[in-house]
Amino acid sequence: MTSGISHDHEQAPAVLALTADPSRQLPAENVQRVEIATDDPDAARAHLHRLYGARMGSPLGSNGGPVLELTEVRTSRFRTGELRLPPTVDFRVRGQSELVVAALWRGEVDIDEGGRSEPHRAGGLLLANWPGARFRCRTRDVHALVVAIRFDLLGELAGIEPDSVAGLRFESRRPTSEAVAARWVSTAQHAHTLLADTELPVSPLVAGAVGRLLAAATLAAFPNNAPTDPIPKDRRDTRPGVVRRAIAFMESYADSDITLADIAVAANVSVRTIQLAFRQHLGTTPMAHLRNVRLARAHAELVAADPEAGWTVASIAARWGFTNPGRFAALYRAVYGVQPSRTLQE
């Protein structure tokens, strides 16, 4: 039987003219939490084709248990899921609009691409698919954590303009080292656990922060051709007015999941230029400054909130995109000199 379960939930800081109102509801991200457990081979084939571009080369059989099991969290720009496949699956894959990364907890994956066979074993991390890829794959007893990230999100983190993101290329299916692989797995597990928690209303700020964290970890884990140096035009456009326009945009839309690309468009410059301008004039990055703007909003709400009404540090922090309570507390104390709990209590 196939089941689907979907739930929709809800440095120095900038100086802001702000009236804090903790009762105001920030918008919620359309997060779907989906569970699939099917012993119908045709349904399993349809799910695998839709989600991963896989076309079965051999029948999917059942020995009495589920043919496919998947627990997945879906947002507008990325998906994370725990996937179990039948004992043996042989299929052809055609890449779709996402980059897919898999951490193999159990089983084996053999990829045949261009006449070359590449084995991947339990405990390994592999780049499983990307837009335009075509290959044949055979899996045995696979149980994996799988993350699919839209290519435009990767391009944003790589500092690539939207109309050029198709040029982003990954050069190997294997991570550059065991250390970066371990960091990727830790990040992905944290993301999946966080978003799979049905008790947590997921705001666009939280979903956006998690997505960018996954994208950054993926770019760091696998060799790619993302640019590292700015071009001369980027350096010429780093005027103070660029930074002022960007900051005004951040303060107006701090409660929205704005991206680096959105900030660059608002400032009327390229992504690389806005990064250089903030580094040159403020000694920071645009996203770090945006974090400080949101920290100031969280501080104002902690000051105004009534703890007797049920508000907590964690709930206010999460509303403003801070998903790790320990890190939020450390950042808050570094800026304001006290623990956020003390601000709320007083």
Mean pLDDT of the chain: 82
Kindly report, as residue ranges, where domains of CATH 1.10.10.60 are found in the chain.
232-345
User: Over 70: is that where the pLDDT of 76 sits?
Assistant: yes
Q: Is 123 left (phi over 0), alpha (psi -120 to 50) or beta?
A: left
pTM over 0.75: no
Give the residue from 196, 215, 212 showing the smallest Cα distance to 204.
212
DSSP string computed for 278-289: HHHHHSS-HHHH
Kindly report, as residue ranges, where domains of CATH 2.60.120.10 are found in the chain.
32-221
Neighbouring CB atoms inside 10 A of 17's CB total 5
pLDDT tens figures, 27-59: 555 778 889 998 888 888 888 888 888 887 666
Q: Cα 327 to the chain's mean position, in Å?
A: 18
pLDDT tens figures, 130-185: 988 899 999 999 999 999 999 988 988 887 777 788 889 999 999 999 999 999 99
Contact 218, 180 (CB under 8 A): no
CATH topology of domain 232-345: Arc Repressor Mutant, subunit A (1.10.10)
The amino acid present at 128, given as its one-letter code, is A
pLDDT tens figures, 277-295: 999 899 999 999 999 999 9
CATH architecture for residues 32-221: Sandwich (2.60)
The amino acid present at 231, given as its one-letter code, is I
Find the range with the poorest average confidence among 34-38, 53-57, 92-96, 325-329.
53-57
Strands 68-74 and 88-94: unpaired
3-state secondary structure (DSSP) of residue 40: coil
Instruction: Give the mean model confidence (pLDDT) for residues 299-310.
Output: 87
